[in-house]
Structure 1
Amino acid sequence: MIQTVADIRKRLQEADAAEFAVLERSLVADTRKGVLSAIESARRRLEAQQAEATRIEGLYAYECELARGGVAVGLDEVGRGPVAGPLTVGAVVLPPEPRILGLNDSKQLTAQHREELAAQIKETAIAWTVQHVEPDSIDAVGMTASLRFAFLKALGAIEEQGVSFDAVLLDGNPMRLDPREKNVVKGDAKCASIAAASIVAKVERDGIMCRMSERYPVYGFDANKGYASKDHIDAIKEHGLSPIHRVSFCTAFTQETLF
């Protein structure tokens, strides 16, 4: 019985690598353009899946190497640069299995994918937390002290969940938070737990800024997330600062607060 192109395409779209190999051999004499196109499409899909699996394996393997086979907690921050909203830090401890496909630097993911991954991370993680430093505290002590406070608070929250760790994996430059600290430049693209921390932190902070946009709609926080976009700066010049602006970050374009 001759299979239709549509039937073959459906089977190829659903095939795993082993099934694809069998199908490809059985279709070797089929020269219909639709079948040849479907075979090539399935091949590209499976190659992409294998490349992603290899990438994820690298994230977990590198983390295991840094932790020398022990338990690692990954730390990352979101919101260092905005002129409004909190500084947010995520901390995540992941188990070796199951692997979470799609983990990456949160900035490389769509908002929908971040939210899906954040839910999966929270469900899979041995422990996780998100901590915030509010704008007035950032103004009072500065960014470096705020980062240290948030990271240390996050580590404490992980320990309060009854989880001990052998390595503290921190994205970026040394903070000397803990004797177990290991610094990984661009770690959110290299270590699974740092990537996970960046994702949960960004999703939490973005959610806060969207809610703040409902409270202070003139600033467009849902779109700019507190960063100094042109529209945001124009709104500050017209309306002054809101209670969630970092006054010390806004001196170049502020007028007296109207709130």
Structure 2
Amino acid sequence: MAPAAIPTLRVEREFLADAPMMLACDEVGRGALAGPVTIGLVLIDSGVRRMPAGLRDSKLLSEPRREAMAPRAATWVRASAVGEATAAEIDELGIMACLGLAGARAFAELSAANELIADVPLLLDGNHDWLSASIERRARVVTRVKADRDCASVAAASVIAKVHRDRFMRRMHDERPLYAWDENKGYSSRAHFAAIAEHGPSELHRTTWLHEQTQPAPTLFDLSVG
């Protein structure tokens, strides 16, 4: 198996050659059956230093490594924020609208605590800009496929968001230990579907999604890392 790609600051340095600061963004929880969709947003500037050793896209780190990395990632960047949209909002508005809603909440939190330049560049993982309209184009969003794998700032955003969401799902498991959320974090698994069949959905489940999926698709990897 090939070693995991190591993110760098190459892309960020290109942005920071023309701007004194930039933002980076990633989402987690898009494909879950239960729980919120969560957006991580970080701010870095031209004084950014070498990334923490071991920083990777959250999907490439084990849960213990993510937990250890999250505070290091948060102190490495100049500032960070997390925004969420609930399962009920996803049922009402749809997942794409809720990506924008959660992103707007993260942007509002970060911009309230930090003075951002006009037209601040924002590096967004993926190939679709679901954020610009929700933040009223207050940032210049640039999409990049595999940015969470290749760009250190986006990897930091992904780790911060993933650990934040996982901790929430573990707390929810402690309150209602029926669905093994401490293990699956709300993602599809045979045990999760079996628990839903036995106990019915909870208020954290995306009920519109459950109507579309009656059993999990076979998988060779752990869906809870996405």
Smaller-chain TM-score bracket = 0.7 to 0.9
User: Which residue of 2 is the match for residue 184 of structure 1?
Assistant: 144
Question: Which protein has the larger Cα radius of gyration, Structure 1 or Structure 2?
Answer: 1
Are residues 1:140 and 2:108 paired? no
Out of 232, 236, 253, the residue aligned to residue 192 of structure 2 is 232
2:27 corresponds to 1:77: yes
Query: Aligned letter for 2:113?
Result: Q
- Give the Cα–Cα distance (whole angstroms) in 2 for the partners of residues 94 and 162 of structure 1: 11
Per the alignment, residue 44 of structure 1 pairs with: none
Q: Which amino acid aligns with 1:240?
A: G
How many angstroms does 1:121 deviate by?
1.7
Residue 250 of structure 1 aligns to a residue whose secondary structure is helix
Deviation digits for residues 152-198 of structure 1, max 9, x if unmatched? Answer: 22122221112415311100022251351110101111111110000
* 2:165 corresponds to: 205
Higher strand proportion, which one? 2
Distance 1:110 1:228 in 2: 18
Asked if the contact 1:127/1:163 (under 8 Å) is kept, the reply is no
TM-superposed CA distance for 1:142, in Å, is 0.4
One of 38, 43, 51 as aligned partner of 1:99: 51
Aligned positions, number: 201
Query: What's the TM-score, normalizing by structure 2?
Result: 0.82
Matches within 5 A, 1:1-259: 55-56=6-7, 59-70=8-19, 71-95=21-45, 96-165=48-117, 166-175=120-129, 177=132, 178=137, 180-251=140-211, 252-253=213-214
Deviations for 1:24-57, whole angstroms, at most 9, x for unmatched residues? xxxxxxxxxxxxxxxxxxxxxxxxxxx99x945x
Which residue number corresponds to residue 7 of structure 1? none
State, as a whole percentage, how many aligned pairs show the same letter.
Answer: 36
> Structure 2 unaligned runs (5+)?
216-226
- Tell me, in whole angstroms, the C-alpha distance in 2 between the residues paired with 1:224 and 1:192: 26
State the distance in 1 between where 2:49 and 2:174 align. Answer: 40
1:100-153 CA-partner distances (Å, limit 9, x unpaired): 222211010111211121111222221101111111011110001101111122
Q: What CA RMSD, in Å, does the superposition of the two structures yield over aligned residues?
A: 2.1
Structure 1, unmatched stretches of 5+, are 1-50, 255-259
Please, what TM-score do these two structures have when normalized by structure 1? 0.72
Measured in 2, the distance between the counterparts of 1:163 and 1:118 equals: 24
